[in-house]
């Protein structure tokens, strides 16, 4: 095998949603103290994703920026939505044919759901799985959410990079900072950068093991009437139980008249993003996942080939 390609540029993004303050203020901290994220073998850049929405303390101005990256923008195209204009600017700067293309994008998010410390991945390639395994070894409390079947690898901010992940932390209210989650997220970012540095220097400790992942299956909406109005809430027994098993016939929703609506599928699932505030408008009460033990390994020469991506 030829020489393993190296990573040249990493982009840390906060504020893709303007009211998710942990990522925003981490980016501001790193911009004030850039030595904290400096590594010798690659350039680390930072970006405030949606500054206009942050100024307004809103998730977005016209549309969700984290759904705007599947488009193929042209200079001549007359864009109207602010987030489309912003996405084009970001494409021109950090996209594969941009001025400073990003090899790796790390997009920082926070959630009102009890997501703990979550790494979101979209692919099963060896590089991504080894990163997930490394982070899990450093902090066993980290959950790995595999969203590859959700379509988010096509339109999310992280899809801009040749390799991309997202960090999701919660529970935390929108427009609020919480020191504990801030510090945990910062520590996770440092470990991601450390892994990338070790990879570039040929010092990665490779893992041959099974990795616990929660793979996306589908989303579930709230029960609604013919007018589209919500008719039930997340059942108290399910609230804040992200990543816990939900068995057939377990309570799922509680209607306003007191009726318990149970989970009806035949197989046990592990719901996440339960009662996420930002997802009411999207018709999502939770995402259902399948807990899996995913085998990971490297080739005999102990190299991860990222040449297909870089």
| Residue 28, CA distances (Å) to 66, 206, 246 in order | 20, 33, 39
Q: pLDDT at residue 25 above 70?
A: yes
81: in domain: yes
SS3 assignment, position 32: helix
Confidence of residue 88 (pLDDT cuts 50, 70, 90): very high
Q: How far apart are CA 73 and CA 300, in angstroms?
A: 42
> pLDDT by residue (tens digit) across 148-172?
889 888 899 999 998 999 999 999 9
Residue 156: domain span: 9-212
Report which of residues 60 and 301 the model is more confident about: 60
Q: pLDDT at residue 1 above 50?
A: no
Q: Which two tokens stand for residue 225?
A: 């009437």
Nearest CA-CA partner of 105 in 19, 24, 192, 169: 192
252: in domain: no
232: in domain: no
125: in domain: yes
290: in domain: no
CATH classification at residue 97? 3.40.630.10
Q: pLDDT at residue 300 above 50?
A: no
Q: Which two tokens stand for residue 3?
A: 């020489």
> pLDDT by residue (tens digit) across 106-154?
999 999 999 999 999 999 888 899 999 999 999 999 999 999 889 888 8
36: in domain: yes
**What mean pLDDT is reported for the chain?**
92
Task: Classify residue 37 as left (phi > 0), alpha (psi -120 to 50) or beta.
Answer: alpha
Inter-residue contact 115 to 142 (CB < 8 Å)? no
303: in domain: no
Domain count for the chain, please give it: 1
Confidence of residue 299 (pLDDT cuts 50, 70, 90): low
Mean pLDDT of 51-71: 95
Inter-residue contact 275 to 113 (CB < 8 Å)? yes
**Reading across the β-sheet that carries 232-234, which strands appear in turn?**
232-234, 251-255, 260-262
For the beta carbon of residue 157, count every other beta carbon within 10 angstroms: 29
302: in domain: no
Full-model pTM:
0.93
Mean pLDDT of 178-206: 93
The confidence score (pLDDT) of residue 2 equals: 47
SS3 assignment, position 132: helix
Nearest CA-CA partner of 108 in 13, 188, 26, 31: 13
Confidence of residue 176 (pLDDT cuts 50, 70, 90): very high
Q: Could you tell me what percent of the chain has a pLDDT over 90?
A: 81
């Amino acid at each position: 095998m030829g020489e393993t390609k190296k990573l040249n540029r990493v982009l840390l993004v906060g504020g893709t949603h303007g009211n998710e303050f942990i990522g925003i203020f981490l980016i501001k901290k790193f911009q004030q103290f850039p030595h904290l994220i400096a590594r010798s073998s690659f350039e680390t850049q930072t970006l405030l994703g949606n500054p206009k929405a942050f100024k307004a303390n809103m998730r977005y101005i016209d549309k969700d920026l984290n759904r705007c990256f599947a488009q193929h923008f042209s200079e001549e195209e007359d864009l109207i939505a602010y987030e489309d204009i912003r996405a084009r600017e970001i494409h021109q700067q950090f996209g594969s044919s941009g001025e400073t293309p990003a090899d790796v994008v790390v997009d920082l998010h926070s959630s009102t759901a009890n997501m703990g410390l979550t790494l979101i991945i979209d692919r099963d390639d060896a590089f991504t799985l080894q990163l997930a395994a490394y982070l899990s070894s450093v902090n066993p409390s980290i959950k790995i959410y595999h969203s590859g079947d959700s379509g988010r690898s096509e339109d999310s901010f992280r899809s801009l990079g040749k390799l991309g992940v997202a960090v999701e932390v919660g529970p935390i209210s929108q427009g609020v900072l919480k020191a504990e989650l801030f510090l945990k997220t910062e520590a996770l970012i440092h470990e991601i950068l450390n892994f990338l540095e070790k990879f570039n220097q040929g010092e990665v400790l490779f893992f041959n093991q099974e990795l616990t992942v929660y793979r996306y299956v589908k989303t579930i909406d709230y029960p609604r009437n013919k007018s589209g109005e919500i008719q039930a809430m997340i059942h108290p027994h399910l609230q804040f139980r992200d990543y816990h098993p939900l068995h057939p016939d377990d309570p799922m929703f509680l209607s306003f008249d007191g009726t318990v609506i149970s989970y009806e599928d035949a197989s046990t699932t592990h719901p996440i993003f339960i009662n996420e505030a930002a997802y009411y408008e999207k018709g999502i009460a939770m995402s259902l996942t399948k807990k899996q033990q995913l085998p990971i390994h490297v080739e005999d020469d102990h190299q991860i080939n990222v040449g297909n991506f870089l």
